[in-house]
Structures are given as structure tokens and as C-alpha cells.
Structure 1
């Protein structure tokens, strides 16, 4: 899986909307989008920015990333009042602002993948993915045993993200590595990049062995903290090991886990490339259709709670990651949120 960081475009007022549209158009053109496909991107960006300017006094932000060489993902985030009837608001002609009321409907029509999360007093998240003609295989996506989504954003005023993510999918088996290079900027990015390269080019190993292998290979870098999980759709087990302050929780949508319906992910103290415990061991947890793993770097506040968003489990994994980012981002560091949901 090709992983790219998101670029952030703040839209505090309408003067920024044209700048965002111009820069996102350039991203689409660099992907090799045709003129008609670029037109779709322009419509989506224009409608998202227009909604932010009209309905959110403090504005909001757009997150954009490329999808391999085939598509583009655009996410709109706001902390406005939210919608009380989101289904009706997607109908053409429905508006709370006295406009033509085509915004959400237009975004949905131009998108190959569309998701809308909104909740009163929380705000709204709109996700749109647009692909080159013939490049989106809906059946292949539906056949996957796991759904993975993420948000990865550089620290404000930085261009390179020091957090990192690497993912290998092999049929019903999925392996992921989440990283946080020490500090931020180019040196942190290089530590995460080298760790990801080791993961992508080495034979697949159990998480504890892979982390030890990465530790040996990145000793010339600034170092990183990391979490690796192997998730099996065959055995319905998740095996994981973490080193450093990559945090996370494994949720159970059916409430089968003790306590609050989730289990905290536990990591060892240490820094990959510098010092790790002499003994590492893997932890194993049950996996399946009702399970959702959320892992994040320390760019996210340590205390967060999804129970305040009762409809969230019906949305895409990336939308869930976007909500955690929107609600709990510190805005003082690089930020990574990874969400993996069991589908079978």
C-alpha cells in the first residue's frame, strides 16, 4: 500500500479558498488527471470551501493526499454546528443559507467514494475520493477482509511529516507499522522513512522480531518509536508489539470487551535505533468483524473518547481517523492516526 502524507489547507475565510483550489488543482494535474477529472476536483474543492465560508465562522481545513498514481483524497473538516438532518441536506435544492442548495449533492456526484459524518455541536467531516477513469475497483475494495484508513499531517509550518506508516496487504493478512520519528522536520522524516523501508523490504517477521530488525538498521538516524501489528483474517487474531509512545485502543462494536468496550494497546519503553529492551514479546488479541484498531502518535492528546460519537462506527475508517484528528490534535507536532476495521 502506497502511503502519502496529507497536505493541509486552512480556509479561515473566502480569500483562502482560491489559493487552496489552485494548489489542489496542481496536485491533480501532477497525478495525470484529464481535464474533465480535474474539473471534478475543482467542483469538490469549490463546494467544500464554499460550505466552510458560509456555515463556519472560524472556517475549517482541507486535507489532501494522492492515492498511488490513480486518485486523490480530499477531506473537509469543520467545528461548526453540525447538521441535524444530513440525508436531507444532500438533496439538491435544500439549503440553510438561501443558496441553490447543490453543495453536498454536487460533491457526492463528483466522487467515486463519498462519506459524510456530522453531529450537532461537533461539526462535520466530508470525505471525497476521485479516481482516474477506470481506476477505481469497487468490487475489489468490498472484497477486502480489512478496511484501513489514516490521517498523517506535518507539524504546522513544516512540509515534511516525521510520522510514518507502512502497510502490507496479503489476501486476508494485513501488516502495519506506525512510526513517530523523534522531533519533527527532515531528520524525523528520514528516521521514519528508513524504518518503513526496512519493513517493506525485509521478509515478514513477527512484530517483536521486525521491531528488533528495524532497531538495528536505523541506528544512524535520529531514532523513532513504533508499533507493528499483524492482523489475520484467517485466524481472527491480532498480534502486536510496540516500543515508545505510540498509543492506541482496540474497540469492540458489540461491547464484548470488558469495561468500556475497548482495550488499551501497551508498548515497551524505548526508542528504535537507540535503546530497546533486551526481551520483547508479542501480545495477541481477538480480531473480527466487530473490531476496530486505532493507533496514533503523540500528536494526538492522550485522553480521547469515541463514545461521544454514537454513529461513527457506520463510517469509513478514514472518516474515523479524521474525527480523532479534528477533535484531539495537539497542533504542536506531527500527527498520525491509523484506523483498521475488521470486515469479516
Structure 2
């Protein structure tokens, strides 16, 4: 999965920077003029909302080549502003809270091919908008998945890494956290992702971790976990070593996926796999220890039904420890 370009939106002059960045991403994806213009307008509205209503925030931008629509531009808006008490009203075209024409959220949703938002008064707003190269309904597939990583303070390279592989009704995910942070940690976590990416179809989570253990011996080592998900059977097979947390969570149940002690590339016992039931309405969440382990989605109305990227961003905003690299991956069955 590609990384996001983060742009802090603190004043109106930075809205143009975001718009130009989206234009570059659109060009790289071969957007036509109309689609490029639509993506630029979405970026402008998101950025303007951050400056005008949230009094600052961050816009995170990415070119997504893994969509069933010829690719698309993904725009994630995250703030810690005043939030919205009546989100439904704010999403209607023509609604205004400050004497403006009121085309902000309504226009963003109308011009986007996908849009999801959560907002809590006093805690801020998170929204994701996607514009596709081809404006048509997205094939639903069996999964919706997203991941997000942030660097440790003062670092420009993230020592965490993750990868997703989706094939029909089955999917696999790896999350790795190199020891420490900076380039050395990144080398270790990316080595684990390389093993995952090159593993043959049918390789089990335990086999992938065992091969990663051999490959990471020349690095400083990493905590790592691999999960295989089967939508048809409703199961998750999981194996992990070190402090990668996994949970299957819904509005009625919350079950942890257990990693064993050890460090991939340094010292691990024989890798053990466990199989878990995956209810149709439940999310699978994996995250590194840069995110505090005690969190709940239940105290934010509507969050459980939000886009996986919105949920990942919410977890990072609310529960990042703030002193280490942090990664969250969220997967739901369609």
C-alpha cells in the first residue's frame, strides 16, 4: 500500500498547496480534465473546511492504484477542531454554519465517488473522499480495507510497515514494527513485507513468519504478525511475534488475536497459529505498539460503520502514544 503525503492546513495559503498536490496525483493516474478538476475541487473544499471551521488540521493525500476503477486519488482530512453536533444537517447541500454559501460537505460528497465522515463535538472530524479515474459504481468485492502509518516524532522514515493482499473471498495482511525507529527499523519492517509479498499463494501465516525470521537475521529484527481472512468461511487465521495487536471487534463482541513473545529475526519459539470466528458484522484491526492497546469504538456513534480509513485515522488520532512509529490496518467484510 502506498504512503500518504501529509499537508498541514493552518492557513488559507496552504489550501493551494493541497490542490496542486492533488493535481499532480491526478496526472500520475491519467485522469481526464473533468475528473482532475473534480478532484481538485474536493481537495479545495476539504482544505478550506480545515482552515475555516476546524482552525487547522491535516490533509493526507495518496494515489491509489489498487482500486477496481483504474486507480483513484484518496484524500483524508483529520482535525481536532470543534466537531459537528448535527452531522446529517452539515452534509446537506446549502447548509451553512457561518454565513457562507454552504456548499462545503454537501459539495464534497456530491463530487466524490466515495465519501465517509465521523465527527464528535469537542473532539474533531475525520473524513475521507476518493475520486476515481473512472466514475462508476465500485465492484463491492468481499473486503473493504485500509491502513495508515505515522513516523515517530523527529523522524522522516517510518519504522513500521504493512501490506494487504486481497484475492476474491480471501485476504492476507502483515504488520511489522522494526525495533526502535528510523532507517534501521524501516529496513527490518520492509524486509518482513518483502517476504509477505513474495510468499506463494497458500503459504500460511506461520510459514510466512518463519521465512521472515530467516530473512530478518541481517537486520535489527521486528515485531510482526500475519493474518489470513476468509470471507466465505468467516474465519481469521493469525500468527504473530512481539507487540503487534490484533482484534476482532463489533458492537457486541471484542476478541483479541494473540501474538507470542519474541522478535522476528532475533529470537522466536516455534510459531503457533490460531483460528478465530469472524462474524459478518465485525472488523479486524491490527496495529503496532505505537497505538495504545486499550481503546473502544463504542463511545463514538457511527464510527463502527465508517470507512476503514476513517477508523484507522481515528485510532491514530485518539490513541497514538505519540513517541513511536504507529500503524493501524482495518478490514471489514463487504
Residue number in structure 2 paired with 1:318: 309
Deviates more, 1:306-315 or 1:239-248: 306-315
Residue number in structure 2 paired with 1:56: 54
Q: Is residue 2:58 matched to residue 1:91?
A: no
Number of aligned residues: 329
Contact 2:236–2:275 under 8 Å retained in 1: yes
Shift of 1:293: 1.2
Residue number in structure 2 paired with 1:272: 264
Residue number in structure 2 paired with 1:131: 132
Deviates more, 1:5-14 or 1:226-235: 5-14
Q: 1:288 aligns with which of 279, 295, 299?
A: 279
Q: Structure 1: which 5+ residue stretches go unaligned?
A: 256-260
TM norm structure 1: 0.89
Residue number in structure 2 paired with 1:232: 230
Q: 1:222 aligns with which of 211, 220, 223?
A: 220
Q: Structure 2: which 5+ residue stretches go unaligned?
A: none
What does the per-residue CA deviation read over 1:169-198, in whole Å, with 9 as the maximum and x for residues that have no partner? 222111111111223333322222221121
What does the per-residue CA deviation read over 1:121-159, in whole Å, with 9 as the maximum and x for residues that have no partner? 22211110111135x651x2x2x2222122223334544
Residue number in structure 2 paired with 1:192: 189
> How many angstroms apart in 1 are the aligned matches of 2:2 and 2:279?
27
* Root-mean-square deviation (Å): 1.9
Contact 2:236–2:277 under 8 Å retained in 1: yes
> How many angstroms apart in 2 are the aligned matches of 1:321 and 1:93?
30
Residue 31 and residue 157 in structure 1: after superposition, are their counterparts in 2 closer, same or farther (change >3 A)?
farther
> How many angstroms apart in 2 are the aligned matches of 1:298 and 1:90?
35
> How many angstroms apart in 2 are the aligned matches of 1:240 and 1:228?
6
> How many angstroms apart in 1 are the aligned matches of 2:35 and 2:152?
30
Counterparts of 1:11-90 in structure 2, within 5 Å, are 11-57=9-55, 59-68=56-65, 70-90=71-91
User: Helix, strand or coil for the counterpart of 1:155?
Assistant: coil
